[in-house]
Amino acid sequence: MVKVSRVEENSVAAELGILPGTELRSVNGRPVSDFLDWEFLTADEELVIEARQPDGEEIIYELERLDGEPLGISLVPPAVRRCANRCEFCFIEGLPAGLRKPLYIRDDDYRLSFAYGNFATLSNVKERDIERILEYRLSPLYVSVHATNHEARKILLNNPRVPDIKAQLGRLAAGGIRFHSQMVIVPTLNDGDVLDESLTDLWNMGDAVLSAAVVPVGLTQFSHLYNGKTMDRETASTILSQVERWGEKAMRERGETWVFGSDELYMLAGRELPGPQHYGEFAQIENGVGAVTALRMRVAQGLDRVKRRDGDRIGVVTGFAMAPLMEPLLAQLTEQSGARFELIVAQNSLFGPTITTAGLLVGRDILTALSDRSDLDYALIPAETINEDSVFLDDFTLEAVRQALPIPIFPSYDFIDVLESETTAVAV
Ligand code: SF4
């Protein structure tokens, strides 16, 4: 059963009399257990929907949809499938206490992998789930492989009952499902030969594996489970060389890079990031693969839209990881706008100094960085630091941070989004 959360005005659902709170139980005789069933079973043109109204009345709707007309229903979000693993490197286990509850949910849900591109390990999928993936053709999926070697994967996921990922992927691939894969690398556990074995196995699955990302383990000062080695520059460089060798092979044989080191791996290794052609369609940009290169592209393409701001003094807040890469971008923006940009590198007070990603800075860090900067006219902060409700990870709201600061601040994804405004105030 799924429950309706919202019905659009003048929609098919509204005409039928479906209400928020209506339970949708079956479609054309097949039970509806979640949003996937609903999505796929209602793809038919003729629908018989068994439902229960909020007042308890059982009702059957019969309808014919013309040209895939939307029904106009939003569903109550599904209960997320919880993770059955206990990875030592789990970022959730590395969160400090006291954050809002949803941040601690360790989801591992193939449905969200298909719907939103969340990575899932497939450790908790049952036979019924495999059948659904195949029947509904949930493709592509985003899979945290980490290692195809079964013994190594058991250790990495800290789960002796984890299914064999090679067998799982092989079966799904044979059914036409495709994947984007990632390997989070824990030095000495799944780098070196284990990584080669993983890449060989994934490569041998042919077209089914659309991309492979290699990501260094990321730890906070609270990662209490972790007993492994940390990722140093030399290890990152060795892994990157291995990835690049595979990338060259892929380019020669398939005409695409296929396997990518994450931006963080390049930064840790102290190596220059590749240009846009390396990343093709930027398939794993949300996973931090090619994000810096994409930012550079967006700045280059948007420069001519930047308005003159002669004499403005603009602060740009970022984390330690991005700081060295910012200077050339700010030089271009200075030339185009006439403004003076000042890079302000903030330390992460919530996760500790090992977390240097700009997007994980919290409200308190912005306050600390800017509270005595009334000498600036305004400042740009990473837009990734706030959620869709404009709340930072430490529960500070953007509004509260703005009120506490002596200068205006503007969340920005790529500088251009703020600097192209006629007046900066428009962007507030
Ligand atoms: S799979 Fe591992 S890293 Fe992901 S949520 Fe589960 S325990 Fe955490």
Ligand 1: which atom is nearest the Cα of residue 123? Answer: 1
Q: 144 CA distance to ligand 1 centroid (A)?
A: 9
Contact 97, 84 (CB under 8 A): no
Ligand 1, CB within 6 Å, residue ranges:
83, 85-87, 90, 92, 106, 108, 121, 157
CA 183 to chain centre: 15
CA–centroid distance, 141 to ligand 1, in Å, is: 17
Mutate to test the pocket of ligand 1, among 81, 121, 143 (most ligand atoms within 8 A of CB): 121
DSSP state of 228: S
Is the CB of residue 145 less than 8 Å from the CB of residue 123?
A: no
Per the CB < 8 A criterion, the answer to whether 265 and 214 are in contact is yes
300, two tokens: 């280059």
Distance 90 CA to ligand 1 centre (A): 5
Is the entire prediction scored with pTM above 0.75? yes
Q: Which of 81, 85, 220 to mutate to test the pocket of ligand 1 (most atoms within 8 A of CB)?
A: 85
Each residue's pLDDT, cut to its tens digit, for the chain (428 residues) gives: 999 999 999 999 999 999 999 999 999 999 999 999 999 999 888 999 999 999 999 999 999 887 778 899 999 988 899 999 999 989 888 888 888 888 899 999 999 999 999 999 999 999 999 999 999 999 999 999 999 999 999 999 999 999 999 999 999 999 999 999 999 999 999 999 999 999 999 999 999 999 999 999 988 888 888 888 889 999 999 999 999 999 999 999 999 999 999 999 999 999 999 999 999 999 999 999 999 999 999 999 999 999 999 999 999 999 998 898 999 999 999 999 999 999 999 999 998 888 888 999 999 999 999 999 999 999 999 999 999 999 999 999 999 999 999 999 999 999 999 999 876 644 43
Structure tokens at 351: 């996760």
| Whole-number Å distance between alpha carbons of 278 and 142 | 20
**Count of all residues that appear for the chain in the document:** 428
Neighbouring-strand partners of residue 27: 30, 49
Largest CA distance in the chain: 69
Quote the ligand 1 centre to 237 CA distance (angstroms): 25
Q: What's the 79 CA to ligand 1 centre distance in angstroms?
A: 17
CB atoms within 10 A of CB 43: 12
* Minimum CA distance residue for ligand 1 atom 2: 87
Rounded to 5 degrees, what are φ and ψ at 131? -60, -40
Cα distances (angstroms) measured from residue 301 to each of 200, 297, 417, 422: 37, 6, 12, 18
- One-letter amino acid identity for 179? F
CA of 87 to the centre of ligand 1 (A): 5
At residue 424, the pLDDT reads 61
Give the distance (Å) from ligand 1 centre to CA of residue 106. 6
- Which mutation among 90, 105, 220 tests ligand 1's pocket best, with the greatest number of atoms within 8 A of CB? 90
